[in-house]
Chain A
Amino acid sequence: MIMNYIFGGLMLISVICGILTGRISNVSDAILSGSDDAIKLIISLTGMMCFWTGMMKIADKGNITAVLAKFLSPINKHLFPHYEKTGAASKAICMSMIANFLGLGNAATPLGIIAMKEMQKETGKTKTLNNSMIMFVVLNTASIQLIPTTMIVLRKIHGSKSPFEIIIPVWISSVIALAIGITVAKLLEERSKIKKWKS
């Protein structure tokens, strides 16, 4: 439901703003380049996606994912209560979490998509995200990673004397941000439950 309004709203706002700011020709270009970018993204994603789903199958048969899922289950049973701790969805969630933590960035995206697909498979095809799925998306929109490589490299290129000094502030900031994100998600899920009860 809400995606319809977001999608339509974004396009209406862009056209109106484009006219007001005199950048309508930029908007026009963006429509062409945007669809171009989208298909380029999909093509580059397809390669990694197929490669990862293939490697995941091997990891799964080799029992790595089960070990990871067991290791992370004390956290995951609170964050993703809809899924069994050693089910296919939990395993995919763990692989994606590890990839993000190690800072794989774009290479981690396909693993996240695999996890979403597995979650949907396990709880049935619906048009609505369940609380666990929302928690997983929130977890992925936060950026918990061991080493913020991109920023360190960029700082070094621009002649920083101490490119690494941002590491600890980044850890602090991302951990607190994620904690707030999880809390807000939990609070809002309570509220949406109550709403449903009343109606």
Chain B
Amino acid sequence: MEKLGSFILPGMIFVVVIFGFSKKVKIFDTFMKGAKEGLISTISIIPAIIGLIVSISMVKASGALDIFTSFVSPVFAFFGIPAKTVPLILLRPISGSGALAFVSSIFDSCGPDSLIGKVVSVMMGSTETTFYTIAVYCGSVGIKNIRHTVPAALSADFTGFIVSVLAVKLLLS
């Protein structure tokens, strides 16, 4: 699997270069022009990224998630989501590495082939680090009013978590 995966990136680049040559594109000159534009846009997103990442890591460190977990566990139980997975649901939209660490700890304590192990695997595989994505994408264009982005993205996440439980129960148990 890891081997198959490692073909994707080189494969994409191969296709791009082959197409470039076939259309007689000046590969290196064009690359330099594009890369320069990339450099300019990366510099312009630095302030937004620093502000958002610092504030998100403050929330992670403050224990706000633990307090929130005890409040919302009953709500999640109503939707059939097991209590053990609640920290993952709260962590997932904020921190990719934090969520991955939590999944590892579940694998260690319950095993990857247990029901909980499968549920967290599917939850992790079918959702994204939502707030991070929103911060980076909106920060990159310096936008201040993001309108209904957060509710729409979170509704997708929440659906993903519920369907993960259902799909595992129906297909893998």
The reply to whether the CB of B75 lies closer than 8 angstroms to some CB of chain A is no
Chain A contact residues, majority secondary structure: helix
> Closest Cβ of chain B: how far from A185's Cβ, in Å?
4
Contact between A180 and B155 (Cβ–Cβ < 8 Å)? yes
Chain A residues closer than 8 Å to B100, beta-carbon distance: 150, 154
Contact between A64 and B19 (Cβ–Cβ < 8 Å)? yes
> Closest Cβ of chain A: how far from B50's Cβ, in Å?
4
| Cα-based distance from A104 to B10 in the complex (angstroms) | 11
The reply to whether the CB of B73 lies closer than 8 angstroms to some CB of chain A is no
CB-CB contacts below 8 Å: B132-152 with A: 133-134, 136-138, 140-149, 151-152
> Closest Cβ of chain A: how far from B112's Cβ, in Å?
4
B13-54 contact mask (Cβ, 8 Å, vs A): 1 or 0: 101110111110101001111111111011001100111111
Given A29-B61, A35-B50, A154:B152 Cβ within 8 A: no
CB-CB contacts below 8 Å: A50-67 with B: 50-59, 61-64
| Cα-based distance from A42 to B44 in the complex (angstroms) | 11
Contact between B146 and A2 (Cβ–Cβ < 8 Å)? yes
Contact between B41 and A49 (Cβ–Cβ < 8 Å)? yes
| Cα-based distance from A127 to B121 in the complex (angstroms) | 38
Contact between A153 and B1 (Cβ–Cβ < 8 Å)? yes
Contact between B35 and A51 (Cβ–Cβ < 8 Å)? yes
Within the complex, which residue of A104, A140, A177 is in contact with B159, where a contact is CB–CB below 8 Å? A177
> Closest Cβ of chain A: how far from B158's Cβ, in Å?
8
Contact between B50 and A58 (Cβ–Cβ < 8 Å)? no
Contact between B49 and A57 (Cβ–Cβ < 8 Å)? no
Contact between B1 and A54 (Cβ–Cβ < 8 Å)? no
A139-155 contact mask (Cβ, 8 Å, vs B): 1 or 0: 01111000111111111
> Which of B's residues lie within 8 Å of A, judged by CB?
1-2, 4-5, 8-9, 12-13, 15-17, 19-23, 25, 27, 30-39, 41-42, 45-46, 49-64, 66-67, 100, 103-104, 107-108, 111-113, 117-118, 121-128, 130, 133-134, 136-138, 140-149, 151-153, 155-157, 159-160, 163-164, 167-168, 171-172
| Given contact pairs A49-B41, A54-B38, A127-B142, a sample of 7 additional A-B residue pairs in the complex whose CB atoms are under 8 Å apart | A2-B144, A10-B55, A14-B61, A37-B53, A150-B125, A155-B121, A158-B108
Closest 8 CB pairs of A and B: A181-B156, A57-B34, A53-B38, A177-B160, A148-B125, A21-B63, A34-B57, A62-B19
Interface pairs (19), CB distance under 8 Å: A1-B144, A10-B56, A17-B62, A30-B57, A39-B46, A46-B38, A49-B39, A50-B42, A53-B37, A53-B38, A57-B34, A62-B20, A140-B133, A143-B126, A148-B125, A169-B172, A173-B123, A174-B126, A178-B156
